[in-house]
Chains A and B, each alone.
Chain A
Amino acid sequence: MAGKTLYDKLWDSHLVQQRDDGSALIYIDLQLLHEVTSPQAFEGLRMHGRKPWRLTSSLATPDHNVPTTVEERKSGVNGIADPVSKIQVTTLDDNCDEFGITEFKMTDIRQGIVHVVGPEQGATLPGMTVVCGDSHTSTHGAFGALAHGIGTSEVEHVLATQCLVQKKMKNMLVRVDGQLSPYVTAKDVVLAIIGKIGTAGGTGFAIEFGGEAIQSLSMEGRMTVCNMAIEAGARVGLIAVDQTTIDYVANRPYAPKGDHWNMAVEAWSDLVSDADAQFDEVVVLNGADIKPQVTWGTSPEMVIAIDQDIPRPEDQTDPVTREGYARAWKYMGLEGKKTLADITLDRVFIGSCTNSRIEDLRAAAEVVKGRKVASTLKQAIVVPGSGLVKAQAEEEGLDKIFTEAGLEWREPGCSMCLAMNADKLGQGEHCASTSNRNFEGRQGFGGRTHLVSPAMAAAAAIAGHFVDVNELVKQ
């Protein structure tokens, strides 16, 4: 019999009940909650007179709606200017208080983007099942945890039953061999993967990322890769547990301690795919071939290396692709442009659950240090992923580097990644963004998003247009 993949092992260890039709009841260890996708779930519990099954399995924090300016944040929830956003954040506070769920409220230094906070606190642990009403829950797969986004009905289902009705996915291995070139980061790797397999390439699969280039990444980098598995269509992204994982988790506030720690570490050593495990599909990339990536269109798969020409609709043979490219060209205002450097940028956003951890901020700071943001830019903002990331960055003096270079240093939240708060693009504005989606209107009505790594966003902020960060740092 063939060995098991990491996904198979996680599935098997959480199987409560297998049903005849192929569906199964799967146990959920951790549910992260935020203000946008939880209110209707709590309302559902109330309507049916139900209680959460196990309180210690939930952790909440507001992130999508929260303002990020220092001024607005001073008075917590009362400082939210938008009344609709304020109601939503207040509703989360009220629901957590009513049901007894631990919440890091707006004024708590531990508040931040759920996918930054969970790992940072050690609430996310290897071998867990983790869910959240947010598609970027795949992030937590970086810890060898089975993690995926769910809808609000399922948020309610997990609150009430600690389980989900699931069907097993297929296994895909994406292997990135060799070493990465200088200034080629986890973000470039995952964008290159999406460029190769497409935004639906991983639909129906749990993707395990492996190979030397992946193993060499820090936990922050691994989280960036797994975060964007969903942008390749896969709800689940996974990376095997190794010493890097264990070292990151050790001594985090929620991580096990003493005997339980030793017991856990021993159990976690099995969280790798067996050598003879069979994958339904295997995709291989060569790490050395990957260059800094930039998206040019309105889907994460519309991505090219910094030195490539923007692909033209008329060169596409498939009619649906041609139509999609033509629509993207129009929306992105690319007529008359040939390369990425021809696009004049209006704003730069460094942040989001993809790239707002300390390593991301260090990478961006290194590039802007001693330089100035281009005068043509309207705005460049840096939004740390959590209050603790912010504090760490300030301790290292990164905030000063950013502000001296002309970037704004903000309070933690999802911010301009999806523009539910005041941070957004104006119509027709181009933005170099370290976030995860370049969909039409994602960062603001008519806004034009280009996804890049933190180092590439920093370089773009200095140049005022896209440039290979390797070239910029030589100057």
Chain B
Amino acid sequence: MRPFTKHTGIAAPLDLANVDTDMIIPKQFLKSIKRTGFGKNLFDELRYEDEGQPDQECTGRPLRKDFVLNQDRYQDSSILLARKNFGCGSSREHAPWALDDYGFRSVIAPSFADIFYNNCFKNGLLPIVLTEEEVDQLFKEVAANEGYELTIDLEAQKVISPSGAEFSFEVDAFRKHCLLNGLDDIGLTLQESDAINAYEEQRMKTAPWLFEARSL
């Protein structure tokens, strides 16, 4: 996994609450058996006027001009600013894959849906929770200043605005450690094989039916 340490980039404001994973990446693109290539279909129904198809070339498709990512000033954005309950709905990891593939490194919102939040960390994408007031302030500042850039310092757990204002955020120590170092957590868990084996051995005694071979 690509590490996340410190990042500075243009913030794009997506002024919508309850952005669901069907919005982030519609289902027809979930037919891919790859992890990459979803960026061109990120927010497909919000971004294009027509219905997108898998494997379709997207450069000539009609754009919805009013959509934030279609506006010139947000072309190179890498930080997404959103409203509450971002990423609700399905467990599709294609949602963070699409955000990452498009070029986003972080999403800032007042709250996230649990599964989406969890999936982000597996892909080097940092979801940041700030208060409603702080997010609202960032929305206002972004709107007022073209080329508005934020700096995210994961080590210090701070979002820094162009004026130097700092916003602190929380992140689990283990997730932070994995993200800072780009660690593969399967490898880490496998280092605990003895503990897993010991658990199984004890569990086989108390709940042996869970370990019966499925022979149908």
Contact = CB atoms under 8 A, between A and B. Distances in A.
Interface of A: 16-17, 19-23, 25, 27, 29, 36-37, 39-40, 43-44, 48, 50, 53-54, 56, 59, 64-65, 82, 84-85, 87-88, 91, 102, 123, 125, 127-128, 133-135, 137, 148-154, 156-157, 160-163, 165, 167, 199-200, 203-204, 230, 233-235, 253-254, 256, 260-261, 263-264, 267, 299, 320-321, 323-324, 327, 418-420, 427, 437, 439-442, 445-446
A165 B189 contact: yes
B113 A200 contact: yes
A214 to B, nearest CB: 23
Interface centre among A102, A153, A324, A419 (most CB of B within 10 A): A153
Interface stretch (B21-29, B71-79, B147-155): B21-29
B173 to A, nearest CB: 4
Interface residues of B, number: 62
Interface of B: 15-18, 20, 22-23, 26-28, 30-35, 45, 51, 54-55, 83-85, 88-93, 96, 111, 113-115, 118-119, 122-123, 172-175, 185-186, 189-190, 192, 195-196, 199-200, 203, 206-214, 216
A160 B186 contact: yes
Contacts of A261: 209
Contact of A161 (B27, B119, B189, B206): B189
A48 B200 CA distance: 24
A261 B89 CA distance: 37
A44 B156 CA distance: 32
Nearest to A302: B18
Contacts of B211: 56
A125 B18 CA distance: 33
19 contacts: A23-B175, A36-B92, A56-B212, A85-B31, A135-B89, A149-B115, A150-B91, A150-B118, A153-B119, A160-B190, A161-B186, A163-B192, A199-B88, A203-B114, A204-B114, A324-B16, A420-B28, A437-B89, A440-B23
Given A203-B111, A260-B208, A153 B190 contact: no
Nearest to A420: B27
A16 B191 CA distance: 13
A264 B114 contact: no
Given A21-B173, A23-B172, A420 B90 contact: no
A440 B34 CA distance: 25
Contacts of B27: 418-420, 442
B214 A127 contact: no
A16 B113 CA distance: 26
Contacts of A234: 114
A154 B45 contact: no
Nearest to B191: A161
Contact of B210 (A19, A29, A427): A29
B91 A134 contact: yes
A39 B91 contact: no
Contact of A16 (B83, B195, B210): B195
B199 A16 contact: yes
Closest 7 A/B residue pairs (Cβ): A256-B209, A153-B122, A151-B93, A21-B173, A151-B119, A39-B33, A149-B91
Given A37-B93, A149-B115, A56 B213 contact: yes
Contact of B88 (A20, A36, A200): A200
B43 to A, nearest CB: 11
A152 B92 CA distance: 7
A150 B115 contact: yes
B209 A264 contact: yes
B44 to A, nearest CB: 9
Contact of A441 (B26, B33, B212): B26
A55 to B, nearest CB: 9
A29 B83 CA distance: 36
Contacts of A203: 85, 111, 113-114
Contacts of A133: 91, 93
B92 A37 contact: yes
Contacts of A235: 114-115
Contact of B33 (A19, A91, A440): A91
Contacts of A441: 22-23, 26, 45
Nearest to A205: B114
B89 A16 contact: no
B196 A25 contact: yes
Contact of B118 (A48, A151, A445): A151
Contact of A156 (B22, B89, B186): B186
Contacts of B20: 299, 437, 439-440
Given A56-B213, A151-B115, A200-B88, A127 B207 contact: yes
A264 B207 contact: yes
B123 to A, nearest CB: 7
Nearest to A26: B199
A133 B27 CA distance: 14
Contacts of A264: 207, 209
A165 to B, nearest CB: 6
A27 B123 contact: no
A299 B18 CA distance: 8
A445 B83 CA distance: 24
